[in-house]
Amino acid sequence: MAEVEETGNGLQGVADTIDEWFGEITGFFVNLIFGTNVEIPLGAPFPEGTTLWDGPLVVLWAIVAAIGFTIYFGFVQFRTAPVTFEIVRGKWTTEDDPGEVTHFQALTAAVSGTVGLGNIAGVAAAVSLGGPGATFWMILAGLFGMCTKFVECTLGVKYRHIDENGIVHGGPFKYLPVAFRKLGRLPVLIITGVFAISIMLFGIIGGGMFQANQTYGAIESAGSTLDEMTGTSAFAFLGTDTSAFIFGLIFAGLVALVIIGGIRRIGSATAKIVPTMAGIYVLACLIVIAVNITNIGDAFGAIISGAFTAEGITGGVIGVIIIGVQRAAFSNEAGIGSAPIAHSAVKTRRPVSEGFNAILEPFIDTVVVCTMTALVIIFAWPADYEEAIGVGHDNPVGLTAASFETFLPGFSVVLAICVALFAFSTLITWSYYGIQAWRYLVGMSKTKDLIFRSIICVMIVIGCMVSFGNIIDFADSALFLCIFINVVGCVILAPKVKEEMKQYLADRAAGRLFEDPNELPSDTREMAILEFLQDKPYGTSFEKRRD
């Protein structure tokens, strides 16, 4: 947020009032979601007072669920890479399959909502608050989160509905009512309604305000770089609230031009934008890593040692774990329930095929891109990072830009362009996610849709004018409320996903993937699965038992 005081202009006062009001709401929401702590003592032979966990229940649930899914599905995210790559390139897809977009388009649409500022500003926020060790826990959360994505995206397709116009309606709004149906109609409506509100709030705050806030932060950093290079103050105006307001209006206007479309337009746009913006950013990271290749051992040493020694950081090692898991979840969105909305539109007759497809998202987002960003930061280690350890920083994307400037002078200008593209694609994707929640709550009509899209655009403008800390805290609260509800539903329906997985792998081995699984005789399906598990035992031995 701009901090320069503007005399004779009431905009500064308006921005301060909005930020104060937003901060009060954020404080209440954060306490509501993260206020319930769980303490798990270790006991003897560990020293008295030593705990395995002492932190928020919602964060612990996300961790335990991801590990539990990984074990239950026999580490599926690590052992089925050939299956995943077959699906991404459309080997088993036909034009006659029901749905709206290809596997590749569904993947890029979902990745556009994950690979973005969470990888640039989010990693900077994690490292500046929790030190290099936060990176270790981000990577670990990403690896386990791959299986969570597998489960939720399979369910998103399995319980989707395709209306008479060929439009797909899927995601948590379809499978959560199935998961909780034994509780009765009213509890199902309440639980799903709370989930819809939380994912809508995250879309508006995390998908809208956060993107706009950090995009403007990147532009401010780029302006400062240009002023230093030219020895002028031509871009000093970027430090004013007036500039932030004008930028917000322009950015919101551009977003508005796109979000009047549906999933087809999003799939088409992101399929072109994501590879370009990701390629530019990853290339820059690789250049910096190559230049510092002799220091990579020390960098990973700092990451690993910092993961288990966290002096000066609130909560110690547990505090660093929480920071890493929060930033990983914000970045890759595993378990939130957002990705199943996009993935449910895929052309396929086999739901689990999209689960295999979605496995790639947390890997690309967190394990690869987030790690690259962290390495750039650790190699450079600007003074601002040391000052922010345990406290955080109000412009994380500016700290990332400063790290790149250490090795690639002037790159902050290119980074600002990349950030704008990341933010733009994320915004149009999250507008699609958010409107699904909005429609669930208030119904579907052109007028109602226009109201929601207008809210998104207004909040983009406000996002440029309020503090980063309030935005990220509110977004985290909405995000983990989503995870808590969605993952409970995924746990209940996990056996259904396992059945889909076994049948798909069996039919793949038998060469029957082009056949409609619903048209195969039940005895044929059962025999194929049993033969497959006998001949090619995937995962652990418990998968061989007949369910």
Torsion angles phi and psi, residue 287, rounded to 5: -60, -45
The rounded distance, in Å, linking the Cα atoms of 260 and 426 is 15
Residue 121 is classified by DSSP as I
The rounded distance, in Å, linking the Cα atoms of 493 and 180 is 10
Residue 546, pLDDT score: 31
Token pair 């508005």: residue: 256
User: What are the pLDDT tens digits along the chain (547 aa)?
Assistant: 444 444 445 666 777 788 888 888 989 999 999 988 888 887 667 677 777 788 899 999 999 999 999 999 999 999 988 999 989 888 888 888 888 888 888 887 667 656 678 888 889 888 888 888 899 999 999 999 999 999 999 999 999 988 777 778 888 989 999 999 999 999 999 999 999 999 999 989 988 899 999 899 889 888 888 888 888 877 777 777 788 889 989 988 888 877 766 555 655 665 566 667 778 888 999 999 999 999 999 999 999 988 888 765 655 788 888 889 998 888 888 999 988 887 888 888 889 999 999 999 899 889 998 999 999 999 988 776 666 666 666 778 888 888 998 899 888 888 888 888 888 878 887 888 888 889 888 888 888 988 999 999 999 999 888 888 889 999 999 999 999 999 999 999 999 999 999 999 988 888 887 777 765 554 444 445 444 444 443 333 333 333 3
Omega before 45 within 30 of 0, i.e. cis = yes
The first and second tokens of residue 531, run together, are 């033969």
The rounded distance, in Å, linking the Cα atoms of 21 and 29 is 13
The rounded distance, in Å, linking the Cα atoms of 372 and 472 is 22
Residue 109, pLDDT score: 67
Beta bridge partners of 40: 53
Q: Whole-model pTM?
A: 0.84
H or E stretch at 53: strand 51-56
Report the Cα 404 to chain-centroid distance in Å: 23
Beta bridge partners of 47: none
The answer to whether 485 touches 177, Cβ cutoff 8 Å, is no
State the number of CA atoms in the 13 A half-sphere of 394 facing the CB.
9
Residues near 312 by beta carbon (within 8 Å), at least 6 away in sequence: 389, 390
- C-alpha angle 217-285-290 in degrees, rounded to nearest 5: 145
Residue 207 is classified by DSSP as I
The rounded distance, in Å, linking the Cα atoms of 367 and 245 is 35
Cα distance between the two ends of the chain: 56
The first and second tokens of residue 287, run together, are 């250049």
Torsion angles phi and psi, residue 262, rounded to 5: -115, -160
The answer to whether 95 touches 101, Cβ cutoff 8 Å, is no
The rounded distance, in Å, linking the Cα atoms of 319 and 367 is 20
Residues near 16 by beta carbon (within 8 Å), at least 6 away in sequence: none
Q: For the chain, how many residues are written?
A: 547
Report the Cα 133 to chain-centroid distance in Å: 20
Residue 369 is classified by DSSP as I
Residue 532, pLDDT score: 46
Please report, as a single letter, which amino acid is at residue 301.
Answer: G
Please report, as a single letter, which amino acid is at residue 175.
Answer: Y
The answer to whether 18 touches 466, Cβ cutoff 8 Å, is yes
The rounded distance, in Å, linking the Cα atoms of 534 and 547 is 14
Residue 64, pLDDT score: 94
